[in-house]
């Protein structure tokens, strides 16, 4: 059974936090594909990047995300880069066409910075993490917007307020 709601967006948008809260408010299960990847690989995403490289991570991510899009019930948070895969995008578009809700949690750099903790180990944010984050968002924004059936800016709003708004907007179908 596919999920009822998919959350997409860049690192620091609040996908995991809002997803857990939304699942609780709508009495649904919650899954996060980053956590599913780490569980399957038995190591952190950072370690996958270091040990196996980004291509191996993306291959694992693609498989995990496509499986989760078929079998995760409730609310599903996708890793920020998973939308770079054309098969994942096609699966999300099919999900939307079948009445699912894909929520793009948009966020500015200023809004994401305290959440991401640019001093932490994030494999795609090495070097100048703020510039890298902005480059990632610039490359992905149009894809997030294209896939979304709902868009919410999380920059200056608490996760609780966002989850409440989403539960009200899509709770009846979730």
User: What's the pLDDT tens digit per position in 22-67?
Assistant: 999 999 999 999 999 999 999 998 899 889 998 999 999 999 999 9
Q: What pLDDT is recorded for position 50?
A: 86
Question: Strand, coil or helix: what is 44?
Answer: coil
Domain definitions of the chain by residue range: 5-167
What is the C-alpha to C-alpha distance for residues 81 and 135, in angstroms, rounded to an integer?
12
Measure Cα distances from 83 to 5, 114, 117 in Å. Answer: 15, 24, 23
C-alpha 30/C-alpha 59 separation (Å) is 23
Please give the pLDDT value at position 108: 72
| Tens of pLDDT, residues 66-104 | 999 999 999 999 998 999 999 999 999 999 999 999 999
What pLDDT, in 10s, does the model give residues 122-158? Answer: 454 455 567 776 788 788 999 999 999 999 999 889 9
Residue with tokens 């690989």: 41
- At 145, is the secondary structure helix, strand, or coil? helix
- Written out in words, the top-level CATH class of the domain with range 5-167 is alpha beta
């Amino acid at each position: 059974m596919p999920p009822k709601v998919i959350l997409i967006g860049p690192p620091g948008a609040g996908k995991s936090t809002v997803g857990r809260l939304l699942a609780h408010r709508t009495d649904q299960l919650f899954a996060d594909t980053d956590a599913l990847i780490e569980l399957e690989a038995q190591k952190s995403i950072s370690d996958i990047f270091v040990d196996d490289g980004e291509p191996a991570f993306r291959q694992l991510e693609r498989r995990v995300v496509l499986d989760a899009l078929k079998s995760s019930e409730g609310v599903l948070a996708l890793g920020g880069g998973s939308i770079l895969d054309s098969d994942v995008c096609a699966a999300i578009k099919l999900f939307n066409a079948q009445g699912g809700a894909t929520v793009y949690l948009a966020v500015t750099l200023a809004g994401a910075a305290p959440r991401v903790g640019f001093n932490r180990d994030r494999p795609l944010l090495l070097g100048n993490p703020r510039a890298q984050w902005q480059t990632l968002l610039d490359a992905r924004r149009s894809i997030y917007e294209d896939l979304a059936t709902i868009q919410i800016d999380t920059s200056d709003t608490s996760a609780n307020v966002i989850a409440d708004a989403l539960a009200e907007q899509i709770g009846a179908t979730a």
